Amino acid sequence: MQGLGNDFVVFDGVRQQIEVDAALVQRLADRRFGIGCDQILLVEPPRSPDTDFYYRIFNADGSEVEQCGNGARCFARFVRDQGLSDRTVIPVGTAAGAIRLYLEADGQVRVDMGAPVFTPSRLPFAADAETPDATYPLDIAGKIYQIGAVSMGNPHAVLLVDDVSTAPVATLGPLLEQHPRFSRRVNVGFMQIVTPAAIRLRVYERGAGETLACGTGACAAVVSGRQRGLLAERVQVTLPGGTLRIDWAGQGQSVWMTGPAVRVFDGEIEH
């Protein structure tokens, strides 16, 4: 499956018992010696009465994480294609809480990603206190950068850049991903504001490196931009792999993400 080029291997953990560990994930995610993907997704039976499934996410480096936006859209497409669900609204549990997936008539998938979290300790991010615009000065390799810090269930740091095409993604991305003040590492977004209703974004993902798109990264960038008073409620987010629509009405409200989800191939793995 792929969502704007952010690609996944999705396993049906409902009809079969699947045990996943870091070594297996790393092997399957390898683009030369394995299948190749940014993340591995697991569809599992529900763990709470108000959900239909439980959704687990593993980065290519083997780390299990709390949330994945592009993966959530592909999750919805997968469970429908595989006949695991015939619903058009699918409540799903994740390590970051329940989200709701909406299969639209035009083939797009809309996701209620829940409300963003700004409390530094919940990212986690070491900061003295939460700031009104959720931005913080951060020393990276001896230079001070102002970063937006927000959680969509998973942690994001958002930097403003003049032009994403010349943003220092390959150099600053890994330095910030591993920054000691993010004790569980962090996803790093490089945001260029085109208009209050349109941004360009590149994301260096925790545990996967730069991807063609990042759904939670798009949500985090719009939320950070709005906290800084720079963006409207509805923003078109153009990433290298394509465009997502993100809607956020403000503090305490859910972030809504709308975009495509595409099946690439089905397969079986000998083990």
Is 8 within 8 Å of 35 (Cβ atoms)? no
Cβ atoms of 160 and 191 closer than 8 Å: yes
Kindly name the residue from 37, 68, 74, 219 that is annotated as catalytic: 68
Is 68 noted as a catalytic residue in this protein?
yes
The one catalytic residue in 37, 74, 214, 219 is: 214
Tell whether residue 2 is among the known ligand binding residues: no
70 is in an annotated binding site: yes
Query: Which residue lies nearer to ligand API by CB, 70 or 135?
Result: 70
Least CB distance from residue 57 to ligand API, whole Å? 6
Contact 218, 239 (CB under 8 A): yes
Judged by the rule CB under 6 A, the positions of this chain that interact with ligand API are 6, 38-39, 57, 59, 65, 68-71, 154, 187, 205-208, 211, 214-217
Identity of the residue, 39 or 135, whose beta carbon is nearer to ligand API in the bound complex: 39
The residue type found at 45 is P
Q: Name which of 68 and 90 has its Cβ closer to ligand API.
A: 68
Q: Confirm whether residue 189 is marked as ligand binding.
A: no
Distance of alpha carbon 98 from alpha carbon 91, whole angstroms: 7
Any binding-site annotation on 211?
no
Q: Which residue has the tokens 């790093």?
A: 188
Closest CA to 43 of 11, 8, 1, 90: 11
CB of 233 to ligand API, least distance (A): 21
Q: Between 66 and 196, name the residue whose CB sits nearer to ligand API.
A: 66
Nearer to ligand API by Cβ, of 65 and 160: the residue is: 65
For residue 17 the two structure tokens come to 């018992």
Residue 17, annotated ligand binder?
Answer: no
Q: Is 177 annotated as belonging to a binding site? A: no
- For the bound state, the minimum distance from the C-beta of residue 156 to ligand API, rounded and expressed in Å, comes to 8
Q: What is the distance, to the nearest Å, from the Cα of residue 125 to the centroid of all Cα atoms in its chain?
A: 18
> Least CB distance from residue 181 to ligand API, whole Å?
16
- Please provide the DSSP assignment of 16-83 as one string: S-----HHHHHHHH-TTTS---SEEEEEE--SSTT-SEEEEEEETTS-EES--HHHHHHHHHHHHHTT
User: Cα separation of 129 and 152, whole Å?
Assistant: 19
d(CA 255, CA 257): 7
State the minimum distance, in angstroms, from the CB of residue 116 to ligand API.
13
Residue ranges at the known binding site for substrate: 6, 39, 59, 69-70, 154, 187, 205-206, 215-216
Q: Annotated active-site positions, please? A: 68, 214
